[in-house]
Structure 1
Amino acid sequence: METVGVLANVIAVVDLSVKLGIVCGEYISKARNAKEDIRKLKEESDALARIIGQIQDLLGDKSTEKSHRRQLNASKTFHQDVERCEKMLFELTERLDPGKNPSRMRIIGKSLKWPFTSTEVSQNIESLRHWRDCFLAALQVDHMHLALQREDIQDIKSLPSAPGAAFDSYDNGSTRVCHHDTRKDLLRDVLEWADDPDGRCIFWLRGPAGTGKSTISKTVAQMFADRGQLAASFFFNRTREGRNTAKLFVTTVARQIAGRVPTLKNLVLRAINEDQDLPDKSLEAQFSKLILEPFSRVELSGVTFPTLILVVDALDECGFEHRSQVDESLESSRLIIKMLSRLATVCNINARIFLTSRPEVPIRLGFLEDVPTGSHQDVALHDIPEPIIEHDIRAFIESELEAIRVSHAITQDWPGDDVVTQLVKASVPLFIYASTICKFIDDRRRRFRPQAQLEKVLRQSEGFRTGIEITYRPILDQLAEDLEEFERKELLARFRKVVGAIILLADPLSITSLGALLGIENDEIRYLLNSLHSVLDVPEDDQPEHSVRLFHLSFREYLLQPHSSADQTFWVDEKSTHKDLFACCLQVMGDQSGSGLRNDLCRLDDPGVRRDEIPRERIYQHIPRSLEYACRYWVMHLRESGSGIHVRDAHEFLTRYLLYWFEAMSWMNLLHQAPRDLLTLEDMFSSQGSSIQSEALLFLRDARRFLAENEHAINLAPYQVYVSALIFAPKASLVKQKFRCEIPGWIVKMPEVAENWDVTSRTIHQYKSPVQNVVWSHDGQYIAVVTFDEVDIWNVTSGVLLERNTDMRHINCITFTNRGMLIIGLSFDGILLWDWVAGLKTTFSIGNGFSEVLTVSAATTGKVSCLLSDGNVYLMSETFDIIHTWYTCWQPSAGDTKRTRSNLHLHYLGRVHFTHNGKILTVIDNEQSNSIHVHDAESGALIQSLSAPEGQMFYEVTASDEGLLLATAGSGSPLGERSDWDDVVMEAFIWDLNGTNASASHSSPRVISSVHCQRPTINQHGLLAYTGDYSYLKIWNVLKDPPELVHTLDYGTCVSFSPDGQHLIAEFNAVKIIYTNALGFVKHASNCTTDIDDSVDMNRQSLSPDGLRLAVVSSRGKVTLWHVGSENEEMGSEVAILDTPWVVPTKPTIRLY
C-alpha cells in the first residue's frame, strides 16, 4: 500500500508541475510585465516535471522488479520531499489560476497581471531547483541500484542450472499433484514435521518405483510454495540431461534460493563474486559456499523467519558422467545426503529437506553412516497399511473415471463399483498402474470408446498375474488389434525400432529428429505413437521441437526385461537395439546428401575463424539435432551393444570421417569427449581377434596422439583440424597419411616436420614444491600427482586438471582403486578414501590410531592391503572392512634409538606384496625374518611357508599374477641396525607357487647369486630384472633351468616392469626405456634426453598400465608425460607442447553469418 501512496504523490507532482508550466506560458503571452521572471519560473517547472516524470515511469513500470521500487519507496525522506513539493506546487498554481484567485489577478483587456514580485519569483525558482536536485539525486541513486541489481541478476544467472529441475517447470508438467482425497495422513505428517521447531532436518520418503513419490514431491513443493516456505526444488530424472547427475545440483539449488529467498540472495551473490570458479569446484566446496554459508551467516535482526523447505525428488536417479566401471549412483547419492545433512547445524534459519528415492542400498547406507544420529526421519510408502493405499487408489480411480464419464457423456451407472474394485486390486500398491490404466481408458485422441478400452483392461486382468502386465499389456496389444499376420510382424518390427530407440536413447529426441536418426518418416512414427499416449509423453503436432519422453521408467523396465510368461511379443532386446542405434548414428554422420559430416561443416570458408565468433544459431543450422546426437553417442551405443562384429564398421568410419568428426565435436564444444571415445574404442578393439585388430589399434593410438597434440587449437578454431593439425603432424602419422587430401589447396609448400611423433606427449605442470609421487589409474586415463600439501588429478589425454585438493597433509602412500577412486595412506588417522569425481572424502581408522600407513595396494578385485608402522598387515574389502590381519615385524622399543622411524619406513616397504589380481598376499614373518608366508587373499589361509637358507634373512618379496614369487635374502645385521646395504650380500630366490615347474618348487627354488642385488622385479613371463654394483642391469629368464641371463646393460640404478610385463624401465642419469618381449629379448634401448637431473629416483617415474606412456618427475617439480610406445631407436628430445600455431591463408576471406 505504501507503494501506491508514493506513486499517487508523484503523479500529483507531475500533474501540478505540468499545469504550472502551462499557466506560466499563458502569462508570458498575456502579461505586460515580468516576462523574464515568468520564463525562468516556467523553465524550472518544466525541468522539475521531466525529472519527476522519470520517477513516475520507474515506479509504474511493470517490468521493474518490485525490489527496485521498494528501494526508492523505502526512503522516508523521499516520501516527505514529494509531499512538500506537491504542497508548494499546489499553492503556486492556486495563486496563478485567474479563475480561482481574482483578487490576486485582474484581466485588462486580453492581458493578465503577474501576481508575484521579483523577490517571490526568485524564492519560488530556488525552491523548484531544490526539489529538482533532490529528485534527480534520488533518481540517480535508484538508477545505480537498478544497474547493480541487474548486474546481480546476471551474476545469479552465471550459475549453471539444470533445465527442468524445478517442480513447476515445463518438463515436470506431466507430473500431477495428489488428488485432494489421497495421501491425507502423509501430507499432514509432512506439514507437522515442517512446523515442528524440534523436527528433524531430513524427511526421507522411500518406496519402490511407481508408488507415487514424484507426485507427492510435486504436491509438497506446491504446498510449501503457496505458504512462501519453498527454498528450492530439484527433481532428478535418469532420462533428462542435467538432471541425471549431481553435477548441477548445488548450483541449480543455489540459483533458485537466490530467486525465492531475497534475504539469502546477497549472501549467494557474495559467494559468487568471491570465487568466480565455484561452478568448477567440487560439489562439497560449492555446497559450503553457495548454500551452507549463506544459511549460516544470514542476520535476521530479531525477525522471525519461516522454516525453509528444499524438495529433492528421485535421488536414486542421480549418477555421474564419464566414469567407467562404476555404480554411478553410489557416491553421488551418498554425497548429496551427506551434504544436505549439514544443514542440521545451521542455527540462524530452520532449514529442512524433503527427499524421496527408491530404497537403494547406497542411499540406505548414506543415511545409516553419513547422517548424524537424530538428523532424519523416514517413511516407507510400501509400509503404509494396505487399506490406506487401497483407499487412496480407489479415490484416484473414481475421480479419473468420473471425469472420463462426464467428458464422454456416458451414463451415470458406468463403470460400476465392482469394476472399480477390480481396477483397484489390479493397481495396489502402485499408483503408476492406476494412472496408466486411466490414461489408456481415456484415449485422448478419441479413437476408441472408453467402455471398449475398459473391457480390454478387464480381459487382460483375467489372463495375467502381475500388476505390470495388467497395466502395460492392454496398451501394447491394442497396437496389433485386427491386423493380419504380415501386418502384425511389420508393426512389431517398427515398434522395436522406434519405441526401443525411445527407451534407450541417451538423450530424448523430438519426432523429427528421431525420424532423421532412424531413417523413418515422421508420419509413420506419429502413427505408431498415437496408441501409446498413456505411456509416452508425445508432443502435439504444433510442438515439433518437443521431445518424446517416458512417463515412467517402469515402462522401460517392462519392455527390456524378458517376461515371466512365454509370450515375448513386445520384448525389446537391449543389446540388439543399441547395435541398431549405432548403425543409425553411422548412417547419419556418413550421409552424403549434405546433412552429414563433411569438411568445413558450417560452410565458412575461413580456416582462421574461432568457434566463439560464430553465432550458435549459425552452427546448429548445419548440425541438426539428429547429427548432434549421432556424433555424441555413437561410441556409447557400440559399447552397450556388446558386439565385436561391428568394430570393423567403426574402424571404416574413422578412416573416412575422423577429422570431420573432430571438427563437428569442436563446433558443439564437445571435443573433450573425443579422447574418451577413442579410448573406449581402443579397449573394444583390443578384445577382438579380428584381422584388422592390429591395424585399427595403431590407427586409434595415432588418432589419440594427433588429437592430444592439437586439441587446444582445434577446440578454439575447428577448421584447424585440416590445416595446422595436419601439416605439422609427422610424416609417418597414420592420420596424416589417410587425410592428406584434406589439406587446403592454397598451402603450396609443406613445412619440414619430424618423421615420427616425438616421445614427449606434453608437460603436465611445473610444481613449485617437490613432487612426492605419481600414480596411474587402472584404466590409464588419469594420474594423481602428490606434493607436500596437495593432490592433483590430471586427464593424461587432454592434459586437463580435473581436481585439486589442497587440504591434504602427511601423505605416506597413494593408489587408485579399480573403480577410479584414490586411497591415501596417512601418517595418522588411517586411510583416506577420496572419490574425486563426487568430491566425497571418507576416513577409515586402521589399527591403534597411532601408527603410520606405510604402503597401500588395491587389486583389480577391489580388495585393499596396507602395512602399518607397527608391523601389522591388513587385507580389507572395498568398503574397508578388515578381512584378515597378519604381522610382519616388531615394533622398536621406546629406548631403541638405532631403529629410527625413517629406517623402519625404508625397510618395511618390501616386506609385504599383494598381487595385482588380488589372489595372493605374501608377508615376510616377524622377528627373525627367515620365512615368507604366502596367503590366499580370499580365505586368508596359509598356502605355503618358505624358509630362507641358514644364516640368511629375507629382505624383499614380490609375486606375479601367474604365481611366480621372488624374494631376496642375504646375510647382514638385523633389521633396524643397518644404515645401508653395503654390507649385505644378497641372492634372488624364485618359487613357482602354482607348481607348474618342478625346478622352482617349494623345496628347491631357483637361485640367482649376485652381490648387492637391489630392487629386483619379476613379470608374469618369468623375466627377472635387478640392478647391482656399478649400476649394471641384468635381465634373467627364470623359467629356464638353470635360469638364463638374457641381457646385461652397463646402466640402470632402478628398474620396474609395466603392469603388462612387456616393458621395463631403468634409470641412469637420464631415463632409459628398455623394451622386452615375453622371452626377454631386448628390442631396443632408448634414451630420453631431458632436463631431468641425476636426483630423479624411481618412485617419481611411473609407467602406464599399457606400458606406452611414462610419467616422469624432475627434481624441479616438472611433471612430463612421454609416449614410449614408439619403435624408434632414438626417442627425440623433450619438446614442451605449447599452443599449436594456426595456419590461415593470406588471401582475404568473407565470413557469412
Structure 2
Amino acid sequence: MSPSSAHTLGKDVNVTNIAGDYYDTSTRFITTNVNVVSGKTPLDRLLEQIAPGALHDSAERGPHAPKCHLETRKAVQQDIISWIRQGDQDDRPKRILWLSGPAGSGKTAIAGTIADECHKEGLLAGSFFLAFSSLNRRIKRPFIPTLTYALLQQNAIVNLKDAILSAVDNDPTVLQKHLDQQLEELILGPLRAVAGLSDQSNWPKVIIVDGVDECSIDDGSRTPKEEAHKEVLSVLAHAVLDISFPFRIIIASRPEPAISEFFETSSDLTECVFLDKKYDPDADIRLFLEAKLSVLRRKYNLAQDWVPEGAVNTLVDRASGQFVYITTALRCIEDTSHPPPEQLKQLLCHQRADNAQSPLSTLDALYASILAASPDPPLAAKWLVVFAGVRLHVSMKDRGSEESAPLAVAAYRKALVESYAGEMTFLLCGLSALIDLTDDGRGLKVKFHHKSLIDFLGDASRSGRLHVSNENAWHLVEDRYYNVLKNRGPQSANLGESDMHGFFRLFCGSFPSWINSRHSYEASDITWWLEHLSANYSKEEVCPAVKGIFITVDQKCTWNHHTSCKLWRKVILRHCKANSWARLPTSLDLLRDRVNKLKYGEEWEGYYSALHACFEPPA
C-alpha cells in the first residue's frame, strides 16, 4: 500500500480502489490515510503532505498568476501593508484581516501582490493560495503542513526548523491528525520552544491565505464544504489567540454566508476590507484596460486611434467593478482567430448591458458569447464542468504522482472522455479567453482562468441552455466509461502500445465507481473487465478489489434485484470460482444479507462486515 493518502471521488456509491481498500460509505470524497513508512526523514514525511502549488511563488501558480497591474489597487494595498506593519498601534488591534468582495473583484490579485511585496521585505511567514481547479489546493488536508513547511524556511526564527522536524519525528502520525492538533504540534509547540532564542522584531509578520471559499471536503464524510471553511477559519482564529503565535493573518475570500457568519462572530479579532466603491475599482479598471490596449497597439503595430471612441467607457461600465470581466474581454480581443480591432468591434456590438439586472449580467453575456464559438456549446460546457469538478478515479497506487503514473492523468482523462480522436481540440480550441489548453508532452491539460466561469455554468438562471448540473456532468462521465467498456478500449485512438497499457490500468482500476443501472451490461463486458484487471494488477491488489466490487454492486441493489446487479454478481462469483477462491457467499448468505438490508436499511453497520466475511481469496 502506498505510504501517502488516496483521494477518490464517488457519487453515492461505495468505492473499491486497486490498492485493495473497500470503503463503507456513500459520499463523494473518500480518503484513506495510512502511516508513513519507516526509513524516511521527518522532512521527507512533511514534504509528502504539503501542497507546493499553494505557495505564493510556486511554479503551479506560475509567473502569470493574478497580480495587480502597476498603479492599480494602490489604496487597498497601502491599507493592508499599513495594517501589517503598524496594526499593533491601533486602539483595538486586530490580528486577522479579511479581504473580501464579489467574484472577479480582484481579491487573488491583491493577495498575490501583497505576498510578493511582503516576501521581498522579509515580512511573509507563509502563504496558502487555494484553487478549485487543483486537487491539492482545494482540500484542507495539506493546509497546516504547507504553512509549517513555509515557517521552517524562516531563518530569522532560530532553531524553528529543528523544533518542527523534531515534532514530526516524535509523532509521524501528526501529519494525519485534524487541523487543530496539527496546528498545536507542528506550529504552536515549536514556536513556544524557540520563543526566547532570537529577536522577534526580526521575525516575519504575516501569513496570507487566499480562496478559503474554494476549499472543499476531502475526508469521506457527508459534511458540506461550509464545514471545511469553518474548520480552516477556526484553526486560524485559534492560532492568533495563542500568545506564542506572533503573526498576523490575511484571509481573502468571497463573502459566502458561512464565512461571513464566522467573521461576524469574530469581530473582536478581525479587520474587514471589502472591495466596494470605496476603493474606486472603475478607476483601476480603466488604468488596467488602457495599459493593456496600448500593449496590443504596439504588439500588432496598430493605429493610435484603433480603439473606437467611447469603447473604454463602455467596457469599464460593463465590468461593474469586476476585473474578471475586463481580463476575459482582453483575452477575446487577443484571440488570434481575428485581428484585435475586429475582435474589439464584435465585443462591443454583441455585449449589451442596457437591461442588466445584476452586476453579473454582462459577464454572463460575455461567457455565453465566447462559448458560442465552440461547434457544440452545450457539450463544450459539459466538458468544462467535467474537467473542473469531476475527478476521474485512478487507483491509489497510481495517484501519488502524475509524473510517475504509467499514463499521465491528463492524457488518460482526454482519452477516456473523447468519443473520437481530436474531439477535445475540436470542442475547446476556440475558448482561449476562458481556458488554456496546454500540452506538456503527456497530454492536453485544461487550466481555467477564473472560477466564475464554473459558477456561471452551474447556475441555470444565469447560463440558460448552457447550464450543466452536477448530475449532467456525472452522466457524461458514466456514459464515457460505459462506451469505453463496450468499445473494449478508448475511442480516441491516439495512444501507443505503452500508453494503451497505462490506459487500461487506470481504466480498470477506476471503472467500478461508474457502474450505473441506466446501462445494459453483458456477461462478456464484465468478463473483459475482470480479465484486464487481472492482467494489469497483482493478485494481492485484485482479490480485495473483486470482493469490494461485489459488495459495492450488491449494496445498491433493490430487494428484487436490478438486472445489471444480478449479472455483475453472477459473473463475479463465476470468476472467483474459476480462480479457486477458498470461500464465497452461499445462497443462504446472500438471502440473509438481503433480509437484513430490508429489515435494517442500508445504514446497518453489520451488513458490510457480514458480507465481507463470506469472501476468502485463494491461498
TM-score, normalised via structure 2 length: 0.75
> In the aligned structure 2, how far is the partner of 1:454 from the partner of 1:195?
43
Please, which of 496, 502, 513 is the counterpart of residue 635 of structure 1? 513
**Aligned residue number for residue 518 of structure 1:** 417
**Aligned residue number for residue 449 of structure 2:** 551
> In the aligned structure 1, how far is the partner of 2:104 from the partner of 2:340?
24
Does residue 288 in structure 1 map to residue 164 in structure 2?
no
**Aligned residue number for residue 165 of structure 1:** 54
**Aligned residue number for residue 396 of structure 2:** none
Q: Sort the Cα spacing of 1:1109 and 1:664 in 2 relative to 1 into closer, same or farther, 3 A.
A: farther
Asked if the contact 2:95/2:248 (under 8 Å) is kept, the reply is yes
Please, which of 91, 101, 104 is the counterpart of residue 210 of structure 1? 104
**Displacement after TM superposition at 1:627 (Å):** 6.2
For 1:472-551, what aligned pairs fall within 5 Å after superposition?
473=365, 477=369, 491-492=376-377, 495-496=380-381, 498-499=383-384, 501-506=386-391, 512-520=411-419, 523-539=422-438, 541=439, 543-545=441-443, 547-551=445-449
For 1:719-734, what aligned pairs fall within 5 Å after superposition?
734=570
Asked if the contact 2:381/2:457 (under 8 Å) is kept, the reply is no
Q: Sort the Cα spacing of 1:268 and 1:740 in 2 relative to 1 into closer, same or farther, 3 A.
A: closer
For 1:207-286, what aligned pairs fall within 5 Å after superposition?
207-261=101-155, 263=158, 264-286=160-182
Asked if the contact 1:318/1:332 (under 8 Å) is kept, the reply is yes
> In the aligned structure 2, how far is the partner of 1:523 from the partner of 1:192?
52
Q: Deviations over 1:15-70 (max 9, x none)?
A: xxxxxxxxxxxxxxxxxxxxxxxxxxxxxxxxxxxxxxxxxxxxxxxxxxxxxxxx
Alignment partner of 2:302: what SS? coil
> In the aligned structure 2, how far is the partner of 1:331 from the partner of 1:671?
36
Alignment partner of 2:286: what SS? helix
Does residue 402 in structure 1 map to residue 294 in structure 2?
yes
Q: Sort the Cα spacing of 1:314 and 1:496 in 2 relative to 1 into closer, same or farther, 3 A.
A: closer
**Aligned residue number for residue 36 of structure 2:** none
Q: Sort the Cα spacing of 1:682 and 1:166 in 2 relative to 1 into closer, same or farther, 3 A.
A: farther
**Aligned residue number for residue 646 of structure 1:** 518
Alignment partner of 1:178: what SS? coil
Task: Select the structure of larger CA radius of gyration.
Answer: 1
Q: Deviations over 1:1024-1046 (max 9, x none)?
A: xxxxxxxxxxxxxxxxxxxxxxx
> In the aligned structure 2, how far is the partner of 1:420 from the partner of 1:378?
31
Asked if the contact 1:165/1:233 (under 8 Å) is kept, the reply is yes
> In the aligned structure 1, how far is the partner of 2:131 from the partner of 2:571?
40
Letter in 2 for 1:436: T
Please, which of 52, 55, 75 is the counterpart of residue 185 of structure 1? 75
**Displacement after TM superposition at 1:231 (Å):** 2.0
Residue segments in structure 2 that go unaligned for 5+ positions in a row: 1-39, 394-407
**Aligned residue number for residue 459 of structure 1:** 349
**Aligned residue number for residue 934 of structure 1:** none
**Displacement after TM superposition at 1:656 (Å):** 5.8
Letter in 1 for 2:415: A
**Displacement after TM superposition at 1:453 (Å):** 0.8
Higher RCO (C-alpha under 8 Å, 6+ residues apart): 2
**Displacement after TM superposition at 1:176 (Å):** 2.2
Q: Deviations over 1:422-472 (max 9, x none)?
A: 1000112211111101111112xx221111111111112236744555446
Letter in 2 for 1:495: A
Alignment partner of 1:404: what SS? helix
Q: Deviations over 1:866-925 (max 9, x none)?
A: xxxxxxxxxxxxxxxxxxxxxxxxxxxxxxxxxxxxxxxxxxxxxxxxxxxxxxxxxxxx
Please, which of 362, 372, 388 is the counterpart of residue 258 of structure 2? 362
Asked if the contact 1:232/1:260 (under 8 Å) is kept, the reply is no
**Displacement after TM superposition at 1:502 (Å):** 3.2
**Aligned residue number for residue 574 of structure 2:** 738
> In the aligned structure 2, how far is the partner of 1:378 from the partner of 1:531?
40
> In the aligned structure 2, how far is the partner of 1:480 from the partner of 1:668?
50
**Displacement after TM superposition at 1:652 (Å):** 8.8
Q: Deviations over 1:1034-1066 (max 9, x none)?
A: xxxxxxxxxxxxxxxxxxxxxxx98x8x65xxx
Q: Sort the Cα spacing of 1:316 and 1:477 in 2 relative to 1 into closer, same or farther, 3 A.
A: closer
Asked if the contact 2:73/2:284 (under 8 Å) is kept, the reply is yes
**Aligned residue number for residue 731 of structure 1:** none
**Displacement after TM superposition at 1:659 (Å):** 7.5
> In the aligned structure 1, how far is the partner of 2:535 from the partner of 2:263?
46
Alignment partner of 1:532: what SS? coil
Asked if the contact 1:162/1:243 (under 8 Å) is kept, the reply is yes
Q: Sort the Cα spacing of 1:1140 and 1:670 in 2 relative to 1 into closer, same or farther, 3 A.
A: closer
**Displacement after TM superposition at 1:1110 (Å):** 3.9
Asked if the contact 1:685/1:696 (under 8 Å) is kept, the reply is no
For 1:796-815, what aligned pairs fall within 5 Å after superposition?
none
Asked if the contact 1:685/1:697 (under 8 Å) is kept, the reply is yes
Letter in 2 for 1:352: R
Please, which of 554, 566, 583 is the counterpart of residue 479 of structure 2? 583
**Aligned residue number for residue 502 of structure 2:** 623
Q: Sort the Cα spacing of 1:344 and 1:559 in 2 relative to 1 into closer, same or farther, 3 A.
A: closer
**Displacement after TM superposition at 1:680 (Å):** 7.0
Asked if the contact 2:95/2:269 (under 8 Å) is kept, the reply is yes
Letter in 1 for 2:325: Y
> In the aligned structure 2, how far is the partner of 1:668 from the partner of 1:244?
32
**Aligned residue number for residue 216 of structure 2:** 319
> In the aligned structure 2, how far is the partner of 1:463 from the partner of 1:439?
19
**Displacement after TM superposition at 1:166 (Å):** 1.3
Letter in 1 for 2:107: K
**Aligned residue number for residue 448 of structure 1:** 338
Letter in 1 for 2:202: F
Q: CA RMSD in A?
A: 4.4
Alignment partner of 1:171: what SS? coil
TM-score, normalised via structure 1 length: 0.43
> In the aligned structure 2, how far is the partner of 1:678 from the partner of 1:207?
49
Asked if the contact 1:161/1:248 (under 8 Å) is kept, the reply is yes
Q: Sort the Cα spacing of 1:692 and 1:156 in 2 relative to 1 into closer, same or farther, 3 A.
A: closer
Asked if the contact 1:662/1:671 (under 8 Å) is kept, the reply is no
Letter in 2 for 1:578: W
> In the aligned structure 2, how far is the partner of 1:671 from the partner of 1:395?
63
> In the aligned structure 1, how far is the partner of 2:254 from the partner of 2:119?
25
> In the aligned structure 1, how far is the partner of 2:500 from the partner of 2:162?
40
Counting helix residues as a fraction of each chain, which structure ranks higher?
A: 2
Alignment partner of 2:429: what SS? helix
* Comparing 359-368 and 651-660, the one that deviates more: 651-660
Alignment partner of 2:117: what SS? helix
Letter in 2 for 1:179: H
Q: Sort the Cα spacing of 1:636 and 1:756 in 2 relative to 1 into closer, same or farther, 3 A.
A: closer
**Aligned residue number for residue 21 of structure 2:** none
Asked if the contact 1:464/1:470 (under 8 Å) is kept, the reply is no
**Aligned residue number for residue 398 of structure 2:** none
> In the aligned structure 2, how far is the partner of 1:527 from the partner of 1:635?
28
Letter in 1 for 2:84: A
Q: Sort the Cα spacing of 1:352 and 1:463 in 2 relative to 1 into closer, same or farther, 3 A.
A: closer
Residue segments in structure 1 that go unaligned for 5+ positions in a row: 1-149, 482-487, 597-602, 604-617, 639-644, 704-733, 762-779, 781-1056, 1064-1103, 1112-1120, 1127-1134, 1144-1153
Please, which of 529, 540, 554 is the counterpart of residue 657 of structure 1? 529
Letter in 1 for 2:153: G
Does residue 561 in structure 1 map to residue 459 in structure 2?
yes
Letter in 1 for 2:452: S
> In the aligned structure 1, how far is the partner of 2:360 from the partner of 2:539?
44
**Aligned residue number for residue 436 of structure 1:** 328
Asked if the contact 1:176/1:218 (under 8 Å) is kept, the reply is yes
Q: Deviations over 1:761-782 (max 9, x none)?
A: 9xxxxxxxxxxxxxxxxxx9xx
> In the aligned structure 1, how far is the partner of 2:382 from the partner of 2:572?
38
